[in-house]
């Protein structure tokens, strides 16, 4: 079994020419899901991690599982208007426009060490917004972990330029 084989590709979604990498098939396979979570945690063995922060929405599935595995807290980073309490926000650019991510104020304490997770790196904009929010809260991003990287979109380099190590399980080129 390998993780790549458990990821379904859906052609022309959400628009023609896009090869959508669907991790829900990986989530539905208990062996593949366990392997992915264990593989995402492995590089951080022995490091102090206080919280897992995850990006909406598929990142929440992984983030919750990782936090449970490590017996630490979980912090959601959501699209604007989805969190009920007082939030910090960070906007980022999309291909056509702008979006905003939010983090509850007080969800992270100054000095906490945070692992940031999501299912996929594309352009890295959402992850960059998450990193900036975590840092504004006074916490430190000790690393970022993803199931998939789409290297031709440059997200990994964008995250690494912020001095955040990137751990990825599978790369998909523009095939």
Count CB neighbours of 134 within 10 A. 25
From residue 81, alpha-carbon distances to 12, 129, 135 in Å are: 29, 15, 21
* 95 a catalytic residue: yes
Spacing of C-alpha 27 from chain mean position: 15
DSSP secondary structure, 53-122, as one string: EEETTHHHHHHHHHHHHHT-EEEEEEETT--SS-EEEEEEEETTEEEEEEEETTSS-TT-EEEEEEEEES
The catalytically annotated residue of 58, 78, 156, 158 is 58
List the catalytic residue out of 4, 34, 95, 128: 95
Among 95, 142, 150, 93, which residue's Cα sits nearest to residue 119? 150
Catalytic residues: 58, 95
């Amino acid at each position: 079994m390998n993780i790549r084989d458990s990821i379904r590709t859906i052609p022309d979604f959400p628009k023609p020419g896009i090869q959508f990498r669907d991790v829900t098939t990986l989530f539905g396979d208990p062996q593949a899901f366990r392997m992915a979570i264990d593989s995402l945690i492995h590089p951080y063995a022995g490091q102090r991690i206080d919280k897992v922060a995850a990006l909406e929405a598929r990142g929440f599935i992984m983030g919750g599982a990782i936090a449970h595995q490590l017996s630490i807290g979980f912090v959601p980073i959501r699209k604007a208007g989805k969190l009920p309490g007082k939030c910090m926000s960070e906007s980022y650019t999309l291909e056509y426009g702008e979006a905003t991510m939010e983090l509850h104020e007080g969800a992270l304490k100054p000095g906490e060490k945070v692992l940031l997770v999501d299912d996929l790196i594309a352009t890295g904009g959402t992850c960059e917004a998450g990193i900036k929010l975590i840092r504004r809260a006074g916490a430190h991003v000790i690393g970022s972990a993803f199931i998939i990287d789409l290297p031709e979109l440059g997200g990994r380099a964008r995250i690494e330029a912020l001095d955040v190590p990137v751990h990825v399980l599978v790369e998909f080129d523009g095939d």
